[in-house]
Structure 1
């Protein structure tokens, strides 16, 4: 797959909507909060898109999302892309001053925030020069704010995608700021199908019968790529977990309950799973067929320990926020540990 294979005017909402023709009623998203089919997600995305337009969001405007990995994160993100905006996935682990910096830096006009993270925004909200609207997933903290459910409930479930160019920016992800403040890295509509095809499909063999689960959350390019764009690119399903992925039992319970076939993790995440006593006896991991790791170096000793305990090889990959895609990887059956 090459960039030239995509139409000049392309909106990557197509990675969701191409599924409507053949598998509209297939479950596309599994989570503790709710399960949603491709059709249900598409309808809610359109409702959010209409609601954003009523707030005055135009092509090229930035919409910030600060939320746990929930269906509302997904529909808000996809709606922003569909209307031609730029979605800013914000880490849930930052401090209030860091959120202030990012909101000012990207000039977000709208912030969609989960109620549990709202206190970190409230302390820096006054004086934000560009922020005009706050939508709360849950209960709003101020009278002028609106609850997500109320915001979209009367909106139509039809919306035409903006006529974006394939080179138009659609996401902004902030790095860890290794040389100073965090840097916002933009990515274009074209990047999403290309990276999905080259890594998860061509290298790992992802197909429509699979179900992905990523310990890296959606605000990371790693999690966003492998656990949202990639599965929908081929008609597969995604599994989300709103609980902390740093608690190993949360990850194991999610695998046991929702039966993903692909597990995307970090090396320390695999180590934490193995630290759970008798984890292979207490939790059913038999649905897995591919285990992948990125984000940090994978020691050979950890690779062998996981293989010994579970029978699964870990496919190590490398990527950066700047490149979006994981661009260097071992291949199934052709792995050199360490």
Structure 2
């Protein structure tokens, strides 16, 4: 049996008459489905010329421009494994990952070359550097390399369970881990979340704040729109509130994908007060961290469009638990996406009843086959049909799941589990608080109690603010959960995906 993801994602669209339709627009240039097909074939020929064989890896440190899908899909077409990397990593993190995956070729955006100046000479397996941009700075220029090649290429007859691409986890508690994803995995996410939750359609225009190198962004901007022949707007720069509103008004997207931090920032950005979200916007989606209930309600009130909050992971490729149109309860992650099964288990591995906290396990058609060179961690995470997420959840009697925290973030106060996310959600409903993070802190008797780090809105500090915040939390969620200590900070440590790095706050 043969199956190549590019045949389904790209060639099918051309065969069905969408060759002249814009697939991607990066605000500087556009590429149609037909042009993308030709360019990916040229990538296949280029990789052969450079001596890259099937199943070998090529790394991508590329901004979100039309060159990203050209390289990513071109490699998969050739049976070569692309490894997109987070463009915000440090030089040492790049060195580690590039050495770990043993990439033969590195595709890199010109603007990112300076970070890699001292890294490239240290990589014995790296044979070629290909630059996306106008100046190759002594390396190969992608445009020139593609211009040399024919657009005739026979797509590799890959197997649906053959590795197609790798994604490295965010590495919030150590060096990132390479997750190996299969040829059939992209379609699996499109057939489940894309089709049955978003109901993505051909006339959609998609805009995602999350970048293509993230599992979340890859589905948002590439898999889902290409699965139906829709169009995507790419943004190569930082997704500030002002820029997102500008793109919304310029391109009038129908689907906008964000993260809780960004949705909150867009609602609270003083410079964007009165900004509109376009006239065609029909749905928004959120992932990365749980969406606070107050943010969901405020967004719907201001823009008249719901946010579908859900949870996904690099290991499972996209969202597997989500709210859905017509079935939204803010403050929860909704229900299992059709095609996915979930369980909540105790520390002993037993299923827990409704109302009790358990670790979330997922049976997924899009699960990775394991971590590269991480046998022990693979065995701990990928357990037969089930994948351990490390997330603590509680299920209500209606079958909805509410996020409690990461397994290593939860702690007990007076013998009762405390969810940092619950305390944080209560804090940000106070008008003085913009962001909050909660971690355990030992009191003089050595007992754990909540400590909060808060980012305040402008001019919100008052003499009795801390006591007011403590009382506010008591009234919202219970007297034992309030933060005993509150520290004001300018910002909170986050991963590039917007997740709060509570472990850094615990190290204070």
Indicate the TM-score class for this superposition, using the shorter chain for normalisation. Answer: over 0.9
* Aligned mates of 1:124, 1:165 — CA distance in 2: 34
Corresponding residue for 1:121? 116
Partner of 1:37: 32
Deviations 1:194-235 (A, max 9, x none): 111100111111111111111110000000012101111111
Spell out the pairing of 1:97-176 with structure 2 (5 A cutoff). 97-138=92-133, 139-142=135-138, 145-176=139-170
Contact 2:245 2:275 (C-alpha < 8 Å) held by counterparts? no
Cα distance per residue 1:160-202 (max 9 Å; x no partner): 1101101011111111224532100010011111111100111
TM-score (norm 2): 0.63
Q: Deviations over 1:101-143 (max 9, x none)?
A: 000100100000011100111111112121100001121222x
1:279 positional shift: 3.8
Return the match for 1:57 from 52, 57, 77.
52
- State the match for 1:5 in structure 2: none
Distance (whole Å) between structure 2 residues aligned to residue 284 and residue 221 of structure 1: 25
Q: Cα RMSD over matched residues?
A: 1.3
- Greater relative contact order (Cα < 8 A, sep 6+): 1
| Structure (1 or 2) with the larger CA radius of gyration | 2
How far apart in 1 are the matches of 2:116 and 2:269? 35
- Matched residues in 2 for 1:75 and 1:42: separation? 8
The answer on 1:318 being equivalent to 2:311 is yes
Count matched residues.
Answer: 328
Matched, 1:219 2:227: no
Name whichever structure is richer in strand by fraction.
2
Tell me which residue corresponds to 2:195.
201
**TM-score (normalised: structure 1):** 0.94
Q: In the alignment, which residue of structure 2 is the partner of 1:265? A: 258
Q: For residues 22-55 of structure 1, give each alpha carbon's deviation from its aligned partner in whole angstroms, at most 9, with x where no partner exists.
A: 2111111122121111001111111122111100
Does the C-alpha gap of structure 1 residues 308 and 284 become closer, same or farther in structure 2, counting only changes over 3 Å? closer
Distance 2:248 2:191 in 1: 24
Flag structure 1 segments of 5+ consecutive residues without an equivalent: 1-7
Q: Name the structure 2 match of 1:3.
A: none
SS of the aligned residue for 1:172 comes to strand
Structure 2 unpaired stretches of 5+: 332-508
Name the SS for the 2:321 alignment partner. Answer: strand
